[in-house]
Homo-oligomer: A and B are copies of this chain.
Amino acid sequence: MREIIAEIITIGDEILIGQIVDTNSAWLGKKLSDLGIRVKQISSVSDDKQHILNALSEAKTRADLIVITGGLGPTKDDITKNTLAEYFNTGMILHQATLQRVEEIFSTRNLPMIEMNRLQAFVPANCTVIENTTGTAPGMWFDYDGNVYISMPGVPAEMKTIFEDGVIAKLKEHFTMPSIRHRTLLTAGIGESFLAEKIKDVEDNLPLYIKLAYLPGLGQVRLRLTGYGDDGNKLDAEIDSFAQQIKNKALSYFFGEGDDSLEKYICRIFADNKWTLSIAESFTGGYISHLVTEVAGSSAYFKGAVVAYDNEVKINKLGVKRQTIIDHGSVSEQTIIEMAEGCKKELNTDYAIATSGVAGPSGGTAEKPVGTCWIAIACPNGKTIAKHFHMGSDRHNTIHRSGVVALDMLRKEIEK
């Protein structure tokens, strides 16, 4: 079966000057991939007739399906519709059902309708209208010279409704789709190159129709397997098998799949076991608590945190001994252990995380340069694990990377 190739064209200067982030393309990319259509390119172009015409001509050479968003509003700078009519070498006609819809919308909202709004009901003569149930600009489907073109408004809510309610069914009717399968495996605590080294044998044996991509983040790497083929069941089985082979090569680093996250995974394990957690944060300044509490349901297990930025707070709220800080400094194994154990006791939880480090840009010394940090996990069995890291010299990255590393240390303990 021949692969169906799509190209997305988004129209609008506001994207090019960075005034808005183009989230439509990512949404469409995911929807089209899920349908088994391969998106080959996304092009964002300006509100300029010749530029749009060029983009359409180029896309035609690469793609079977061209999905266009934007430039359908009522104002002067919205030129997509007339440009499409020119591209298809046709004129504009009034679409009665759309005119009725626009009139209804204005009468419902008690707004006067001006000529500019009436123009919303004109479409290129070769167009099949796809109703827009949430706005005035209709969706449009064109079957022209062997390609399908779909034009939708750029307002995300309108575009999504038109695509889901009107476009998907028409695409399935028009094209014979291949099977496509995605699977994303989540890892933490291992760098991209080390992970690649570990799973090299499996990667080298992947067939051409299954691709592996590395998606690195701070302290985390996601692995995405994508397969294309005629037989969906066979693909499922193959991807399952490769996913398992990959996991087996580095089992302790994998914790979840898809849209899961370390924080959600930890939330589930704690809730299932009815354990509780508290956090003592020095240089991470509340970031780990923030990660944990962004997850809905975290109140079931997370009791609270002490952000002990100042040493007096470490002493008064976490029970760290003044002498420990004097003897070893606040960024030390001794202090981090007292912070973790003190936090666990003071907030009366099963587990506690503690962090202390030098976020920078100032505060570093030869012995403890910027990026130096200690992270500890106090466990219910009375054991406390403390580890020492260098997180680099960028303040923002040091904080964020440390958050992931701390949660990953906790994950390893609760998995034991």
Q: Judging by beta carbons under 8 Å apart, are A77 and B286 in contact? A: no
Q: How far apart are the CA atoms of A26 and B31 in the complex, in Å?
A: 22
Query: B105, B296, B371, B395: which contacts A360 (Cβ < 8 A)?
Result: B296
Q: Judging by beta carbons under 8 Å apart, are B17 and A29 in contact? A: yes
Residue among A16, A316, A371 having the largest count of chain B Cβ atoms under 10 Å: A16
Map CB proximity to B onto A155-196 as digits: 1 under 8 Å, 0 otherwise.
Answer: 101000100000000000000000000101000000111101
Q: Which residues of B contact A86 (CB under 8 A)?
A: none
Q: Judging by beta carbons under 8 Å apart, are B19 and A215 in contact? A: yes
Q: Which residues of B contact A13 (CB under 8 A)?
A: 211, 213, 226
Question: Could you tell me which residues of chain A, from 263 to 304, have a CB within 8 Å of some CB in chain B?
Answer: 279, 281, 283-290, 292-294, 296-299, 302-304
Is residue A49 contacting chain B, with contact meaning CB distance below 8 A? Answer: no
Query: B19, B281, B302: which contacts A224 (Cβ < 8 A)?
Result: B19
Name the distance in Å between A391's Cβ and chain B's nearest Cβ: 8
Question: Could you tell me which residues of chain A, from 36 to 59, have a CB within 8 Å of some CB in chain B?
Answer: 39-47, 51, 55, 58
Name the distance in Å between A16's Cβ and chain B's nearest Cβ: 4
Name the distance in Å between A345's Cβ and chain B's nearest Cβ: 12
Is residue A67 contacting chain B, with contact meaning CB distance below 8 A? Answer: no
Query: B25, B304, B392: which contacts A309 (Cβ < 8 A)?
Result: B304
- For chain A, the bracket of interface size reads 35 or more
Is residue A232 contacting chain B, with contact meaning CB distance below 8 A? Answer: no
Q: A110-B390, A157-B397, A305-B286 are in contact. Are A211 and B43 (CB under 8 A)?
A: no
Is residue A15 contacting chain B, with contact meaning CB distance below 8 A? Answer: yes
Map CB proximity to B onto A1-34 as digits: 1 under 8 Å, 0 otherwise.
Answer: 0000000000011111111111101111111010
Is residue A306 contacting chain B, with contact meaning CB distance below 8 A? Answer: yes
Q: Which residues of B contact A117 (CB under 8 A)?
A: 193
Q: Judging by beta carbons under 8 Å apart, are B213 and A14 in contact? A: yes
Q: Judging by beta carbons under 8 Å apart, are A304 and B313 in contact? A: yes
Question: Could you tell me which residues of chain A, from 356 to 370, have a CB within 8 Å of some CB in chain B?
Answer: 359-363
Is residue A73 contacting chain B, with contact meaning CB distance below 8 A? Answer: yes
Q: How far apart are the CA atoms of A89 and B393 in the complex, in Å?
A: 37
Query: B193, B284, B290: which contacts A285 (Cβ < 8 A)?
Result: B290
Q: Which residues of B contact A389 (CB under 8 A)?
A: 109
Q: Judging by beta carbons under 8 Å apart, are A73 and B192 in contact? A: yes
Q: A27-B18, A304-B308, A395-B294 are in contact. Are A196 and B299 (CB under 8 A)?
A: no
Name the distance in Å between A26's Cβ and chain B's nearest Cβ: 4
A-B contact pairs, 28 of them (CB 8 A): A15-B26, A16-B29, A17-B29, A17-B182, A17-B226, A18-B28, A18-B29, A18-B30, A18-B39, A40-B46, A41-B44, A75-B192, A75-B196, A105-B392, A109-B392, A116-B193, A134-B394, A157-B218, A286-B287, A287-B293, A293-B399, A294-B399, A296-B359, A303-B309, A303-B313, A305-B307, A306-B306, A307-B307
